[in-house]
């Protein structure tokens, strides 16, 4: 059975059965609207303020007359047979099959050979996108196209073409099948990534006389009546004294097309990917010619000067109109295959209606793959030099793809050395370069005559990071002219390392590594190290705490020579007459006479350069990767945590034998990107080998830290430390774009626990619970009570004033029935769940008099294991929930005279608008009055048994229906929460529909049997 979404018979059946199918349409089914970018799911959501109409053949203007009347803002792309409509209001009818057909009929588009209309979709991060009839996938190395042939047939897909290596374009005009195909291939581990080939929206990131080209050589002159600041430039004349490039180098300007200009070198080829054109300009193309002049305008002739005038130019036009992801990727592959050495990109992805793009995200893996591939395989394996503008939104986020580690992201300065108000910045910014500001613009080439920005052949008003980017692209060409054997990454490193530092010392988010310097970059490429080089063995300082015998090695790296002259280990402060040649740290275990400083000893010190050490990654939302080097406090590595997926969003230690210490001291450096209001992260401790953790301290954005500002923390951890102590740092954000970077973690053990670094078994101690009688150290230096039920009535709190129990830890024993529950400590009431989202909810209750704090438990309904939390407040925010899943929860109070009973058990469902509350909960094990009905099925697809989780406000009826409308399973279901198992092992493979009817309401869930 093929897995098509049937748009005829099924729709008729659903309508005849009085189904409310609109709410289940694939365009609004948020739980299934995502694709896979190789590391994470990328969510999308429909937005009907724009739409795309799809045709089998190009319509005439007459056929579009009615449509153009209501939607004057439209764009028809002949190459893709796609019409994009824009509106300042919601376009009705686009989120149901019947509504979309009615739209086509209303404007007579079916007669114009249209076959579908769909709303625009917003890709996670705010990027607007429209579906096309293509899907893009990169197969895993051990998978070939024949391996997925059966899946392509099932979903109605076919191979369009091979893009690059194991990357394919697939034809799939059944739009509802595109995401399910990607999801199935991902779930079966057949693809590295998969995405629809969206039609996307990108934006340009905007001699008259050489003396006015202040970005090349700023003498402090006044331009257009405005003052400049001397030497705020790239030192171009000094670089030109060494090289002006050469004709064997090719710089591709990926923009809106190039054309011949008397001040530009020859254009030796080009491509317009959307229509397989030659890269020439189209109507309104001015931007690319202006960028090309900054890169390569000829010297000493008629107009302006470019940074590298002796190179050749190539034109890649990605602004013809209607470009898709694959068109843009094809531009990069063309550059690689046609000998491009440097690729200049003064553009980036737009965001929708002011939505902020996520920093460092990867919304379109086909483009990311192409850029990364060309950065590695271009120039016959040495890699192309790829330069991007940082973007012109003035936001703390370098615009994708300029945020990728494989490119150089360039921001903009004014001629007075101030970062421009429009220039995007952040931890992924590499360098800055002068551009417009202070009332005047960059001088560069314009289209000849009146076709461009100005009436002549030059413009005086170019600017933005668009002008800063080609300046640095030209520097990349000068570097390669000096040493063509350098790899692309080496060129990138030279540009970063030779930039003139600006702002705070070292890297900062506003200036990156500093202002690009062509002269120093060329000197570095010549091997002069910026004019100095190094003498191996000469003194230097590598920046650590040790400066004795720091010398340049044969590779000009600054490194210390460490010798343990007195054979006592490298100890800090262990001996005033220490003879060690260098004292880098106190990590040597033989250092026991004072190493560690005071009464603390270092248990672990990790900068993650050599690996994770005692630290472990919790799951897919944690990583140690050199691509995060910009966020490292030192070196090239740190640990990145993201999202709020519980343990998966954490890093944790091995067991630390901390039993000999009273407390731990934990120091670390961190920087956070893209956290939203009230998002936070935690330091947690476990004393039972990781079976459970408790929060030591939390840090909240806006209160304890700001995004993109480095912080250093030292936390004292006071707990009953054991030989099985673990520490955990856990991220509690809302999505994959919210990221926490941890570096340089030092753990110290401080004080002693039982005398002099050990303990005396049997000696008195306190394990911190409510009982202190007979708490003693055991043989492992763990503090534990000796519990005996002397009067044989169970371990009860307050059950008998003459209780003879040696220890009274809690009231959990069922035989404790004479007062367990904590005296006058009442169970909380007024329970309500609020602010419910797909992954989070806030649990609230009324305060209990005399309560010190509260214990909270929650779990997925129908499961047996509770998750434990505690708080001193009367509310708690829980995260990491599963969308459309019902949760039970309860709370109890801890008072000075004991602990209360648990409250009634209440419920809420993640991803619903219901406010939850105990009206929808369980009271003493019985169902209260329900205010909602939910239906969910798992696993989906199913092969043997399908489990249907129900939450009904009244008795109902559940059916499983095949695509012909026949009932293959039916059962009556009582009100309340239950799980129904359906055996699907003998059913034919294909699509089925679950129908739940209760109190006149009908819900439908699509399931697949495989």
pLDDT digits (tens, 9 = 90+) for 944-957: 888 787 766 667 88
Over the stretch 882-908, which tens digit does the pLDDT of each residue have? 777 788 889 999 988 788 888 878 888
The pLDDT score that the predictor gives to residue 90 is: 84
What's the number of CA atoms in the CB half-sphere (13 Å) around residue 591?
Answer: 26
The pLDDT score that the predictor gives to residue 765 is: 61
- Residue 650 pLDDT greater than 90, yes or no: yes
| DSSP secondary structure code for residue 357 in this structure | P
- Residue 158 pLDDT greater than 70, yes or no: yes
Average pLDDT score over the chain: 78
- Residue 135 pLDDT greater than 90, yes or no: yes
Reported confidence tier of residue 835, pLDDT bands at 50, 70, 90: confident
The answer to which of 88-97, 554-563, 998-1007 has the lowest mean pLDDT is 554-563
Nearest to 749 by CA among 638, 600, 629, 589: 600
The pLDDT score that the predictor gives to residue 784 is: 60
State how far the Cα of 206 lies from the Cα of 190, in Å rounded to an integer.
Answer: 41
Do residues 412 and 420 touch, judged by C-beta distance below 8 A?
A: yes
| DSSP secondary structure code for residue 105 in this structure | H
- Residue 509 pLDDT greater than 70, yes or no: yes
State how far the Cα of 433 lies from the Cα of 399, in Å rounded to an integer.
Answer: 17
- The DSSP-derived string for 458-490 is EEEEE-SHHHHHHHHHHHHHHHHHH-TTS-HHH
Higher-confidence residue of 366 and 602: namely 366
The pLDDT score that the predictor gives to residue 777 is: 62
Do residues 942 and 1007 touch, judged by C-beta distance below 8 A?
A: yes
The pLDDT score that the predictor gives to residue 968 is: 84
- Residue 753 pLDDT greater than 60, yes or no: no
The pLDDT score that the predictor gives to residue 338 is: 95
Q: State both tokens at 540.
A: 């230097």
Q: Token match 């004479």: residue?
A: 818
State how far the Cα of 796 lies from the Cα of 781, in Å rounded to an integer.
Answer: 27
Q: How many helices (H) and strands (E) does the chain have?
A: 12, 56
Nearest to 618 by CA among 641, 651, 643, 646: 651
Mean pLDDT of 844-848: 86
- The DSSP-derived string for 735-752 is STT-EEEEEEEEEEEES-
Mean pLDDT of 164-171: 91
Q: What is the percent of the chain where pLDDT is above 70? A: 74
Mean pLDDT of 917-937: 40
The pLDDT score that the predictor gives to residue 861 is: 79
CB count in 10 Å sphere of residue 195? 28
The answer to which of 158-162, 561-565, 734-738 has the lowest mean pLDDT is 561-565
What is the C-alpha radius of gyration for the chain, rounded to an integer number of angstroms?
A: 33
The pLDDT score that the predictor gives to residue 295 is: 94
Reported confidence tier of residue 117, pLDDT bands at 50, 70, 90: very high
- Residue 641 pLDDT greater than 90, yes or no: yes
Residue 471 backbone dihedrals phi, psi, to 5 degrees: -60, -45
- Residue 592 pLDDT greater than 50, yes or no: no
The pLDDT score that the predictor gives to residue 14 is: 35
Residues in CB range of 192: below 8 A, 6 or more apart? 38, 138, 139, 140, 166, 365
The pLDDT score that the predictor gives to residue 558 is: 62
Mean pLDDT of 998-1002: 63
Q: Are strands 680-686 and 694-700 parallel, antiparallel or unpaired?
A: antiparallel
Over the stretch 442-497, which tens digit does the pLDDT of each residue have? 788 888 887 887 777 887 778 788 888 999 999 999 999 999 999 999 999 999 99
Please name the helix (run of DSSP H) or strand (run of DSSP E) that holds residue 684, with its range, or none.
strand 680-686
The pLDDT score that the predictor gives to residue 583 is: 37
Q: State both tokens at 600.
A: 């603390």
Reported confidence tier of residue 575, pLDDT bands at 50, 70, 90: very low
Nearest to 306 by CA among 451, 463, 442, 439: 442
Reported confidence tier of residue 298, pLDDT bands at 50, 70, 90: confident
Q: State both tokens at 69.
A: 């009347």
Mean pLDDT of 403-424: 87
Reported confidence tier of residue 382, pLDDT bands at 50, 70, 90: very high
State how far the Cα of 632 lies from the Cα of 758, in Å rounded to an integer.
Answer: 37
Reported confidence tier of residue 626, pLDDT bands at 50, 70, 90: confident
Q: How far is CA 485 from CA 343, 524, 966, in A?
A: 17, 14, 69
- Residue 379 pLDDT greater than 90, yes or no: yes
The pLDDT score that the predictor gives to residue 539 is: 58
- Residue 758 pLDDT greater than 80, yes or no: no
State how far the Cα of 680 lies from the Cα of 673, in Å rounded to an integer.
Answer: 12
Over the stretch 58-74, which tens digit does the pLDDT of each residue have? 888 888 888 888 887 78
Reported confidence tier of residue 707, pLDDT bands at 50, 70, 90: confident
SS3 27: coil
The pLDDT score that the predictor gives to residue 569 is: 44
- Residue 997 pLDDT greater than 70, yes or no: yes
Q: Exposed, middle or buried, 410 (CB in 10 Å: 0-12/13-18/19+)?
A: buried
Higher-confidence residue of 754 and 779: namely 779
The answer to which of 349-363, 561-575, 909-923 has the lowest mean pLDDT is 561-575
- The DSSP-derived string for 539-579 is B---SSS--TTEEE-TTS-EEE----TTSS-S-SSS-TT--
Residue 20 backbone dihedrals phi, psi, to 5 degrees: -95, 80
Higher-confidence residue of 287 and 770: namely 287
The pLDDT score that the predictor gives to residue 975 is: 64
- The DSSP-derived string for 662-677 is SEEEEEEEEEEES--T
The pLDDT score that the predictor gives to residue 119 is: 93
SS3 859: strand
Which runs of E-coded beta strand occur in 79-206?
82-86, 114-123, 127-130, 134-139, 158-164, 167-171, 191-196, 199-200, 202-204
Q: State both tokens at 532.
A: 């100095």
Mean pLDDT of 930-950: 67
């Amino acid at each position: 059975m093929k897995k098509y979404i049937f748009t005829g018979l099924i729709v008729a059946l659903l309508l005849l059965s009085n189904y409310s199918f609109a709410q289940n349409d694939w365009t609004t089914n948020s739980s299934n609207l995502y694709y896979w970018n190789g590391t994470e799911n990328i969510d999308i959501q429909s937005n009907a303020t724009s739409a795309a109409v799809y045709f089998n053949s190009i319509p005439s203007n007459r056929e579009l007359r009615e449509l153009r009347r209501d939607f004057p803002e439209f764009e028809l792309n002949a190459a893709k047979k796609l019409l994009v409509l824009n509106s300042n209001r919601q376009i009705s009818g686009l989120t149901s099959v019947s509504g979309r057909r009615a739209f086509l009929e209303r404007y007579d588009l079916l007669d114009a050979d249209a076959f579908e209309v769909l709303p625009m979709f917003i890709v996670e991060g705010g990027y607007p996108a429209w579906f096309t009839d293509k899907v893009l996938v990169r197969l895993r190395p051990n998978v070939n196209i024949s391996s997925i042939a059966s899946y392509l047939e099932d979903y109605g897909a076919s191979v369009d073409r091979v893009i690059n290596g194991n990357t394919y374009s697939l034809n799939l005009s059944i739009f509802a099948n595109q995401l399910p195909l990607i999801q199935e291939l991902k779930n079966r581990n057949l693809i590295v990534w998969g995405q629809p080939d969206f039609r996307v929206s990108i934006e340009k990131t905007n001699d008259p006389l050489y003396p006015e080209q202040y970005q090349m050589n700023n003498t402090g002159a006044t331009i257009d009546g405005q003052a400049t600041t001397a030497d705020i430039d790239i030192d171009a004349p000094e670089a030109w004294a060494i090289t002006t490039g050469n004709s064997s180098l090719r710089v591709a300007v990926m923009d809106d097309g190039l054309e011949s200009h008397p001040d530009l070198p020859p254009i030796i080829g080009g491509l317009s990917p959307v229509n397989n054109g030659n890269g020439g300009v189209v109507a309104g193309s001015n931007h690319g010619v202006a960028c090309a002049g900054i890169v390569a305008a000829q010297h000493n002739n008629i107009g302006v000067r470019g940074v590298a005038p002796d190179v050749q130019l190539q034109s890649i036009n990605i602004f013809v109109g209607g470009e898709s992801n694959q068109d843009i990727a094809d531009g990069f592959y063309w550059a690689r295959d046609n000998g491009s050495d440097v690729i200049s990109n003064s553009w980036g992805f737009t965001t929708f209606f002011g939505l902020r793009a996520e920093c460092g995200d990867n919304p379109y893996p086909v483009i990311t793959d192409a850029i990364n591939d060309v950065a590695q395989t271009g120039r016959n394996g040495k890699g192309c030099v790829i330069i991007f503008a940082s973007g012109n939104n003035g936001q703390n986020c370098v615009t994708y793809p300029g945020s990728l580690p494989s490119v150089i992201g360039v921001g903009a300065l004014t001629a007075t050395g101030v970062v421009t108000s429009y220039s995007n910045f952040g931890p992924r910014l590499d360098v800055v370069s002068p551009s417009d500001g202070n009332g005047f613009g960059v001088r560069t080439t314009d289209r000849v005559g009146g076709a461009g920005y100005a009436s002549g052949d030059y413009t005086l008003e170019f600017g933005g990071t668009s002008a800063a980017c080609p300046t640095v692209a030209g520097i990349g060409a000068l570097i390669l002219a000096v040493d063509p054997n350098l790899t692309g990454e080496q060129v990138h490193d030279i540009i970063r390392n030779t930039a003139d530092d600006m702002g705070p010392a070292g890297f900062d988010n506003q200036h990156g590594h500093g202002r690009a310097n062509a002269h120093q970059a060329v000197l570095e490429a010549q091997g002069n190290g910026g004019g100095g080089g190094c003498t191996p063995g000469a003194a230097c300082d590598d920046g650590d705490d040790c400066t004795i015998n720091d010398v340049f090695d044969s590779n000009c790296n600054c490194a210390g020579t460490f010798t343990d002259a007195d054979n006592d280990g490298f100890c800090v402060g262990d001996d005033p007459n220490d003879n060690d040649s260098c004292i880098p740290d106190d990590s040597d275990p033989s250092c026991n006479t004072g190493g560690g400083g005071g009464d603390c000893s270092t248990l672990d010190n990790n900068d993650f350069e050599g690996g994770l050490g005692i630290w472990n990654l919790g799951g897919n939302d944690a990583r140690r990767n050199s691509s995060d080097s910009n966020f490292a406090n030192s070196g090239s590595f740190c640990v990145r945590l993201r999202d709020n997926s519980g343990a998966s969003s954490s890093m944790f230690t091995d067991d630390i034998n901390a039993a000999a210490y009273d407390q731990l001291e934990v120091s670390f450096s961190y920087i956070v990107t893209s956290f939203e209001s009230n998002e936070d992260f935690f330091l947690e401790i476990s004393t039972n080998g990781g079976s459970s953790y408790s929060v030591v301290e939390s840090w909240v954005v806006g209160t304890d830290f700001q995004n993109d500002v480095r912080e250093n923390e030292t936390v004292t951890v006071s707990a009953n430390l054991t030989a099985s102590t673990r520490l955990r740092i856990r991220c509690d954000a809302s999505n994959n774009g919210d990221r926490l970077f941890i570096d340089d973690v030092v753990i110290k053990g401080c004080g002693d626990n039982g005398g002099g670094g050990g303990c005396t078994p049997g000696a008195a101690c306190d394990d911190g619970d409510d009982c202190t009688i007979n708490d003693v150290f055991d043989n492992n230096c763990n503090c534990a009570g000796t519990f005996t039920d002397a009067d044989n009535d169970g371990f009860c709190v307050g059950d008998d004033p003459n209780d003879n129990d040696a220890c009274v830890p809690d009231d959990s024993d069922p035989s404790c029935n004479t007062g367990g529950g904590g005296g006058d400590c009442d169970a909380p009431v007024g329970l309500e769940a609020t602010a419910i989202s797909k992954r989070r909810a806030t649990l609230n209750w009324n305060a209990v008099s005399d309560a010190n704090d509260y214990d909270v438990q929650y779990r997925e309904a129908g499961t047996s294991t509770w998750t434990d939390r505690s708080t001193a407040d009367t509310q708690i925010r829980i995260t990491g929930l599963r969308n459309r899943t019902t949760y039970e929860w309860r709370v109890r109070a801890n008072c000075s005279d004991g602990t209360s009973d648990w409250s009634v058990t209440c419920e809420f469902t993640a991803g619903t608008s219901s406010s939850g509350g105990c009206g929808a909960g369980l009271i003493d094990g019985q169902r209260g009055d329900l205010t909602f009905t939910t239906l969910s099925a798992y696993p989906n697809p199913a092969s043997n048994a399908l489990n249907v989780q129900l939450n009904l406000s009244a008795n109902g009826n559940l059916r499983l229906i095949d695509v012909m409308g026949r009932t293959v399973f039916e059962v009556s279901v009582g009100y309340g929460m239950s799980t129904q198992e359906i055996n699907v092992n003998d059913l034919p493979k294909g699509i089925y529909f679950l129908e739940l009817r209760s109190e006149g309401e009908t819900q439908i869930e699509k399931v697949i049997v495989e």
